[in-house]
A and B are shown apart, each in its own frame.
Chain A
């Protein structure tokens, strides 16, 4: 008859063997910690928190009006060698969907329709674009909104970048030595 001999474990090992199962609880607790941020993000992406931060409401552009807001109150984000980008959201006025072909956003006045800036995409009530912010932009630069109409004309308006995104203006002021 064989005899089984139990080897006594060290106290640390005993503690580990007894409690390791409870690591499962961590699997529930860790995601819980991230939930407030997750839900805040979801509200932001769905537009339940409005268009964004520092909303510039009803900027008249041609016969339309556009509301513009930065997605988050933060400086531009680097995208590798492509430079720095800032996400802006925009909405056309609720009753003016007629005649607008495309809406563009640019730092500084566009030279032509071809170079009108980055295009806003999405539904007319909530469009978004990733706007390149050149590092040598002056903090007092203007954000130009260009509407390309189906009539072939360009309609333009501008707002100070410092109003639309104070964080970007502050960031640009810090980039001064790179200009």
Chain B
């Protein structure tokens, strides 16, 4: 057992010293079925975003759909008419905007 531990000590130490990961917010939206958009939020360190606010806002700044991401970090909503953007809002200064022009069928 001891030699094994000794042999593993260095790799284990190196593995423990992972670099500090940034956790930038991210959000992807796709039109999954006709007329329905599914947005998935998360952070670049791989963590999910369950419960984070996701609003669909018209170009006139009216909130068209206000919601929170489910346990799977996803939210599905009906595609609004007109011009809008999706705002993934993980707090002030931690937002991602997805413009309606960038949401297409996969």
Which residues does A use to contact B, with CB under 8 Å?
79-83, 85, 102, 104, 111-112, 114-121, 129-130, 132
Contact = CB atoms under 8 A, between A and B. Distances in A.
Chain B, interface size category, equals 10 to 19
A35 B61 CA distance: 52
Interface stretch (B4-12, B31-39, B74-82, B85-93): B85-93
Contacts of B26: 81-83
B25 interface: yes
B65 interface: no
Contact of A102 (B22, B93, B96): B93
Contacts of B2: none
A130 B87 CA distance: 18
Name B's interface SS. strand
Given A102-B92, A117-B93, A119-B92, A85 B85 contact: no
Contacts of A111: 57, 59, 61, 85, 97
Contacts of B30: none
A81 B93 contact: no
A64 to B, nearest CB: 18
Nearest to B28: A81
B44 A115 contact: no
Contacts of B25: 82
A119 B25 CA distance: 12
B94 A119 contact: yes
A123 B95 CA distance: 22
Nearest to A83: B26
A46 B22 CA distance: 19
A104 B97 CA distance: 15
Interface in B49-66: 57, 59, 61
Contacts of A85: 22, 24
